[in-house]
Amino acid sequence: MKFEWFVASRYLLSRRKQSFISIISVISIAGVGLGVATVILVIAVLDGVEHGLRERFLANEAHVVLRLVDHSFFSEYQDKIERITQVEGVVAASPVVYSQMGVFQTGQKSLTDAIYIKGIDPEQEDKVTSFSQYVSGSVDFKTSPLIEEAELREGETISGGIVLGYRLASQLGLTEGDVLRLVVKLEENTMSMGSPTLFVDFANFVVIGVYESELAIYDSRIGYIDLDTAQELYGNLGKVNVILVRLEDSEMASELRHEIKDAAQFTTTFEYPTTTTWLETHAPLFAALKMEKIATVIIEALIILVAAFNIASTLIMTVMEKTKDIGTLRTLGASRGNITRIFMIQGSIIGMLGTFAGSALGLGLCWLLSTNVARPHLWIGFGTVALLILCQIVLMYKRLIPNPKVKKIGLSLLWIVGICFALYCFVTPISLKELGFSEIYQMNQLPIKVNWFFVCFINLLSFVICWFATIYPAWQASNLKPIEALQYE
């Protein structure tokens, strides 16, 4: 151990006389630690939200959506899909009839809701999104036995099966086998005499499955029907209004969108194609998340800065308390550089301990919040804390361990292990579903994703801030004149 490290570490660990300063050192370490732990945890949650949303968006959505500017239908879509799939970087493409329909619930004489309907070919859709993966029930829109059963039961024509988002199904009070009446068209009847009347075209569907993607925007708004049925209902046989495209690399969407549009070859007059990427669709959300992360880092950096001021004040007090020692060391031949380094090392050790303790706490909490394993009962956690306090009191007043060093190390270890175990009992993954936040946050469990690059960055940032905090007190110490320091009272 070098001379400066030798002196600095002794000043840090020594509890003789200046126990007040030792307590402040501990508070400084705790301050830095809490700042670092909080920032790691908050950023892990924000990253988890972003990552979770991305994963879900990418599983449920196409990377590029091709349509006409006026949302109208276009023909020869299979040829277009064939050409699009030949574009390098494109994995698959799928035709979709995308529309909105009104819900006409049995027993009610008015429209109760409007939902989005996607007419899809399940086989092709699965190549673009993970549709079937999220469906419980059947995706057999045309031949599900539930259709025939419903026809016999209701005595009405059934257009086919429908897969509803599970939230939507729940809102409408529908389960598998129930019939849903949808308003396909609502047109003014221009042939009627007198006051204008509306021409309403209904279609009945049987719920054959529910779709649960954990994304509220899908689970509460969309119903899936067969592509042919949708085309038939809209009188657009052989036509679709959307082509969904999946890429090898979702991040290439912006680069490939123009190639995809060109490959589709819309040649007919008044057909103006346009493409939308998945990133564009969710740009405001990702921008908001990014902004939130930046704001969090700034706020947390300020917390660490406050903790660093604490380090500075601890060191200034240490310098005042050690003035005579500084005089002695200068008398023994220590240079100003030696003295500067002693106090900078002392402050840096505080910063380093705080940073590492904070990282351990932050990462530990991230692990606890993301690990779904059975935990001991909460009372065992409370019991552990009570036992720790009892041990502390007993060891404080009874001389069970005569060696103070052994006692100190033993108690410290006991507290560390005890608190870790108590946290293991108390901190469990947070269910947003149970808290009723799953619709707001689009997911059922508080997501956690540790960004190791950021953990390294915040460790470095915290250490640098703490290091800067040591400069003034160390400079102050080194500037003391030996004689004045020796005569300091």
Partner 1 sequence: MDKLIRIDNLHKSFYDGESELKVLKGVNLDVHKSEILAIMGASGVGKSTLLHIIGTLDRPSDGSIFYEDQDITKFSENELTHFRNDAIGFVFQFHQMLPEFTALENVVMSRLIKNSKRGSSVDAKSSDSNDFYETAEKLLDSVGLSDRLNHYPSQLSGGERQRVAIARALMNNPKVVLADEPTGNIDDKTSDAVLDVLWDVNERLNQTFIIVTHDSRISERAKRTVQLIDGKIAE
For position 2 contacting partner 1 by CB under 8 A, the verdict is: yes
Compute the distance between CA of residue 341 and CA of residue 298 in angstroms, rounded to an integer: 30
The residues near 10 (Cβ < 8 Å, ≥ 6 apart) are none
For position 408 contacting partner 1 by CB under 8 A, the verdict is: no
**Displacement of CA 393 from its chain's centroid (Å):** 42
CB of residue 306 to partner 1, shortest distance in Å: 29
> Tokens 């030792």 belong to which residue?
22
For position 16 contacting partner 1 by CB under 8 A, the verdict is: yes
The one segment of 7-15, 77-85, 438-446, 450-458 that binds partner 1 by CB under 8 A: 7-15
> Tokens 């409408």 belong to which residue?
172
Compute the distance between CA of residue 152 and CA of residue 36 in angstroms, rounded to an integer: 65
Judged by CB, which is closer to partner 1: 271, or 321? 321
| Number of Cβ atoms within 10 Å of the Cβ of 228 | 16
Judged by CB, which is closer to partner 1: 127, or 336? 336
Which residues in the 24-63 window bind partner 1 by CB under 8 A? none
- Judge contact between 56 and 442, C-beta under 8 A: yes
- Helix/strand/coil for 17: coil
The tokens for 300 are: 């947390």
Which residues in the 335-374 window bind partner 1 by CB under 8 A? 335-336, 338
> Tokens 């240079």 belong to which residue?
335
CB of residue 335 to partner 1, shortest distance in Å: 5
Site string for partner 1, 428-467 (x = CB under 8 A): ----------------------------------------
Closest C-alpha to 273, from 73, 463, 88, 450: 73
CB of residue 403 to partner 1, shortest distance in Å: 14
- Helix/strand/coil for 471: helix
Where do runs of H (alpha helix) occur along 371-403?
A: 378-397
For position 17 contacting partner 1 by CB under 8 A, the verdict is: yes
Which residues in the 319-338 window bind partner 1 by CB under 8 A? 324-325, 327-336, 338
Q: Which amino acid is present at 261?
A: K
Judged by CB, which is closer to partner 1: 1, or 191? 1
CB of residue 483 to partner 1, shortest distance in Å: 5
Judged by CB, which is closer to partner 1: 11, or 278? 11
CB of residue 471 to partner 1, shortest distance in Å: 20
Q: Which of 6, 20, 199, 488 binds partner 1 (CB under 8 A)?
A: 6
Q: What stretch of H or E contains 473?
A: helix 452-478
Q: Which of 177, 364, 376, 482 binds partner 1 (CB under 8 A)?
A: 482
Compute the distance between CA of residue 216 and CA of residue 435 in angstroms, rounded to an integer: 15
- Helix/strand/coil for 113: strand
Around 118, how many Cα atoms within 13 Å sit in the side-chain half-sphere? 24
CB of residue 489 to partner 1, shortest distance in Å: 11
Judged by CB, which is closer to partner 1: 248, or 484? 484
Residue 347 is classified by DSSP as: H
| Terminal-residue alpha carbon distance, the chain | 31
The tokens for 315 are: 């060191």
Task: Give all strands (DSSP E) within 227-272, no chain letters.
Answer: 242-247
Rg for the chain, CA atoms, rounded: 34
CB of residue 287 to partner 1, shortest distance in Å: 53
> How are beta strands 197-211 and 64-68 bridged, if at all?
unpaired
The one segment of 115-123, 202-210, 393-401, 479-487 that binds partner 1 by CB under 8 A: 479-487
Judged by CB, which is closer to partner 1: 196, or 333? 333
CB of residue 406 to partner 1, shortest distance in Å: 17
Judged by CB, which is closer to partner 1: 17, or 377? 17
The one segment of 2-10, 193-201, 375-383, 390-398 that binds partner 1 by CB under 8 A: 2-10
Judged by CB, which is closer to partner 1: 383, or 482? 482
For position 261 contacting partner 1 by CB under 8 A, the verdict is: no
Compute the distance between CA of residue 426 and CA of residue 409 in angstroms, rounded to an integer: 26
In terms of phi and psi (left: phi > 0; alpha: psi -120 to 50; beta: otherwise), the region of 235 is: left
- Helix/strand/coil for 158: coil
Judged by CB, which is closer to partner 1: 339, or 388? 339
**Interface size with partner 1, residues (CB under 8 A):** 27
Judged by CB, which is closer to partner 1: 148, or 484? 484
Which residues in the 140-169 window bind partner 1 by CB under 8 A? none
Which residues contact partner 1 by CB under 8 A? 1-6, 10-11, 14, 16-17, 324-325, 327-336, 338, 482-483, 486
